[in-house]
Amino acid sequence: KQEVTQIPAALSVPEGENLVLNCSFTDSAIYNLQWFRQDPGKGLTSLLLIQSSQREQTSGRLNASLDKSSGRSTLYIAASQPGDSATYLCAVRGSNYQLIWGAGTKLIIKP
Amino acid sequence: DADVTQTPRNRITKTGKRIMLECSQTKGHDRMYWYRQDPGLGLRLIYYSFDVKDINKGEISDGYSVSRQAQAKFSLSLESAIPNQTALYFCATSDGGTGQLGEQYFGPGTRLTVT
The 10s digit of each residue's pLDDT in A25-69 is 999 999 889 999 999 877 889 899 998 999 999 999 999 999 999
φ and ψ at residue B85, rounded to 5 degrees: -95, 5
Question: What's CA B13's distance to the chain center, in Å?
Answer: 18
pLDDT value of residue B98: 46
The whole-angstrom distance between A51's CA and the closest CA on chain B is 8
| Interchain contact, B105 vs A41, CB within 8 Å | no
pLDDT below 50 — which residues of chain B? 98-100
φ and ψ at residue A82, rounded to 5 degrees: -55, -30
Angle at B78 between CA B95 and CA A88, to 5 degrees: 50
Q: Which sign, positive or negative, has the C-alpha torsion A30, A35, A39, A42?
A: negative
Q: Contacts of residue A4 in chain B, CB cutoff 8 Å?
A: 42
Q: Which sign, positive or negative, has the C-alpha torsion B102, B60, A90, B42?
A: positive
pLDDT value of residue A40: 80
pLDDT value of residue B102: 67
Task: Determine the Cα–Cα distance for residues B108 and B111; give it in Å rounded to an integer.
Answer: 10
Asked if A40 reaches chain B (Cβ–Cβ under 8 Å), the answer is no
Task: Determine the Cα–Cα distance for residues B115 and B86; give it in Å rounded to an integer.
Answer: 8
The whole-angstrom distance between A52's CA and the closest CA on chain B is 10
pLDDT value of residue B93: 92
Asked if A41 reaches chain B (Cβ–Cβ under 8 Å), the answer is yes
Q: At a CB cut-off of 8 Å and minimum separation 6, what does B85 contact?
A: B36, B63, B78, B112, B114
pLDDT of A96 higher than 90: no
The percent of residues in chain A predicted with pLDDT above 70, rounded, is 97
